[in-house]
Structures are given as C-alpha cells and as structure tokens.
Chains A and B, each alone.
Chain A
Amino acid sequence: MKRTVFAVLLATLAAGVTVLAQQPPEFPKRQQIPEAARQFIGTWMRFPPGAGNPERGNCGNLKDQHGMPRRNCSLPVDTLKFHPRLFAWIQYFDELQAPVYECAAHTVPTLLGDVRPFRITAEMDSLLVNYEMGNTMRRIWMDGRGHPPPYQLSYQGHAIGKWVGNELWVETTNFTFDPDGMDDHAHLPTSVRKRVLERYRMTGDDEMTIEITLEDPMFLLEPGKWQHRWRKNTTRQFDGFAECDPDVTRREIELTTPEKYPVKGN
C-alpha cells in the first residue's frame, strides 16, 4: 500500500516537473533605460531671463479685468497669431473661473513656462516629470504605445515620447478644454484639439533647451513655437510636495478681484 502511494506521488511530481520544464514562466520583456535618458535625469532650474533665455512676462497687449496690462505670461504672447475666438474668450472670461484657484494643476505648455524647477526620473517604460508648480506628476510613455482614441480625454492629456538621436521628442494630445491651457496668467485657453510637441536637447554638460510647438486651431491661426533654457541643479532641494490649499487660493482672488458677473440679490 505504502509503495503504491509513494509511486503515485512520485509520478505526480515527475509530471509537474515535466510541465514546468515545457512551459517556462513568462517574464516581462527586459528593457534598459537608454543611455540618452540618463543625461536628462535630475532636477532642472530655469535659466534667468537674459543669458539667451526669453524673458518671461511677454504678454503682448493683453489686458486684465481692471484694464491693466497683463504681466508675467509664461509664453511669448506677441509671437503668437491668435484666432479671433481667443479674444472673444478673453472678453467673456473672469479671474474667478480660472481652475488654478481651485488648485487644478497646470498643463503643458503652461507648465513648461513656469519658473519653478521640475525633476525627471526614468522607469523602464516611461519618464516621470514632477513639476514643483502645482505638484504635478506627468508620465511620458516611452514604450512605443500610441495615443488613446479621441474620446478618451484628460486634463493633463496623454504624453508619448521617443528618442531621436540624443534628443527626447514628446507629443501630448487628448486634452480636455482648459481655460488656462495656453497660459495661466493671461488665462489663454486651449481646446480638445491642443497638441503640444516638446524637443529636449542637451546643449552642455548640465544645460538643456526645450523647444515647444503648440498647435490648437481653435485658438491659434498657426502653430506657435518658442524655447526655454534649463540647467541641472544637484544641490537644491526639490519641494514637489508642498500642498495647495483651495480655500487660500480662492480667498485670494475673491479678495482682490471684483465680481464680473454679480448675481442680483447677492
């Protein structure tokens, strides 16, 4: 009896070993972080104005609700050719509608025009970019996938990238409508047709240029193109996780900006 049980167990074990030998477990396809990616990993600080870097604050002739000139824009407004629809939007818009006062994280290209640092880290299938402004974590897929179908939209959009030589090219699409999608200071919007191309290029040991192309036929007559210079910083602490408080941001704007659309009785 014992011999029979032992023989059955032995046979079962042998069969199991045979099956395992025939069907090796499938491990995920092994990938390497490309050498080109390593140069971009780190915390990046924007070059100060001058030094070949475009001045932040070019708001063209745009004015705010008080009729005062806009300042501190994040992209070179006077180089862009706006669709008349954008000026109609400005007439309608008021500060209280800006998503930033509800702590909504900025989107590109506004994010790219901010002066606060960002940090790039790499994973096997993607690059992660953490922007101190708004504490936004952006994932750029590097595994060859395409964009989702056009009915799948998100506020930050969907970003895919590829290496072209030593340059990183990123394309972001599938955005929702965004009242601050082009700039959060002059509150220039972007539509679901927004497409942002970024080219990251090292220009020195610790220096890089980001060339930005913005397409949005709803609000631009032709694509806009500009660039920023950044330098790597190995000593500054990256404060990516300080919180935004919507009570504070909302109060700030309510206490400084008259109501453009007062409700009767209020």
Chain B
Amino acid sequence: MKAHAAVLAVLFVLAVTVPAPAHHSFTNFWFMDREVEITGVVKEVKLVNPHSELTVEVTGGPQAGTWYITSRATGSGLRRGGWTPETLPVGTVVKVSGNPSRKEGAKALAAGTITLPDGKTLSFGGAEGIPQG
C-alpha cells in the first residue's frame, strides 16, 4: 500500500512539476498543432541540457525505425521533477505521443506523453507549464 502510494506520488510529481523553459521556441522546429503517436521499445534515455532525449525503436509498419523524442525540459528540470536514469528502463515498451518535426520524413517528436504498459503515464517535459516567448 505504501509502495503504491509512493509510486502514485512520484508519477504525480513527474506529470505535474517539470517546470523548465524551452531553450528555443519549439514552434520554429516542430508542428505544435499536430500530434503523432508511436509505439516501440525504449533504447536510451539521456537527461541532458539543454533538452533531454528519449530514443525509441519501432519495429514493423510504416513508422519502423529509430525515433528520437526531444523533451522541452532541460535535464536539470526533469531531474528536479523526479526523473532519474532508472525512471524509464531500457527495454520498456512505451507509447509516445508528441509533435512531429517540421523536417519532412524525420523520425523525431517533441515529447509529449509517455504511456507505460500498465496504462500509467509519464510526462517527458511536454508543453504544460512551460513559458513560450
């Protein structure tokens, strides 16, 4: 019960408090009014500045390939929000929704929401609470 409460608390923190300003205006690089969803396996998570990055391998279908998901939050911001390198282990199957790149054909998203196999969601520093110029 205590463990369950702790997990809920961590997820709440991750989802709500990742307040970090975008390093540059995402509108200039991503279609912020469109959304794309992919499902794949986590290959790597880098909590770095100025933007963190999640790598997901998608197998089969028209989306097959390596996708790079850019966080709008800094590595510092995500860490403050509760993220650690262990938050999303390599090999986890995830569904990621995010904004597609303005470069045609690029396998890249501005994150979005990450949905875990059990239905729980994580924020990878999406638009919520992030000031835009």
Q: With A and B bound together, what is the CA distance between A15 and B108 in angstroms?
A: 79
Q: With A and B bound together, what is the CA distance between A61 and B57 in angstroms?
A: 40
Q: What residue in chain A is nearest B51 (Cβ atoms)?
A: A252
Of the listed stretches B4-12, B33-41, B74-82, B120-128, chain A binds B74-82
Asked whether A256 lies within 8 Å of B51 as measured between CB atoms, the reply is no
Q: With A and B bound together, what is the CA distance between A257 and B104 in angstroms?
A: 9
Closest CB of chain B to A64's CB: distance in Å? Answer: 5
**Does A201 touch B at the CB level, under 8 Å?**
no
Closest CB of chain B to A72's CB: distance in Å? Answer: 3
Count the B residues whose beta carbon is within 8 Å of the partner chain — how many? 33
Closest CB of chain B to A6's CB: distance in Å? Answer: 69
- State which residues 37-52 of B face A: CB under 8 Å: 46-52
Top-5 shortest CB links A-B: A57-B133, A72-B133, A239-B76, A71-B25, A255-B108
If A48-B131, A185-B133 are given as contacts, then 9 extra A-B residue pairs at C-beta distance below 8 Å, sorted by A number, are A71-B132, A242-B74, A245-B53, A249-B50, A249-B51, A252-B51, A256-B30, A256-B101, A257-B29
Binding site for B on A (CB under 8 A): 48-49, 55-59, 64, 66, 68, 70-73, 100, 115-116, 132-135, 184-185, 237, 239, 242-245, 248-249, 251-253, 255-258
Binding site for A on B (CB under 8 A): 21-25, 27-30, 46-53, 68, 70, 74-76, 79-80, 101-103, 106-108, 131-133
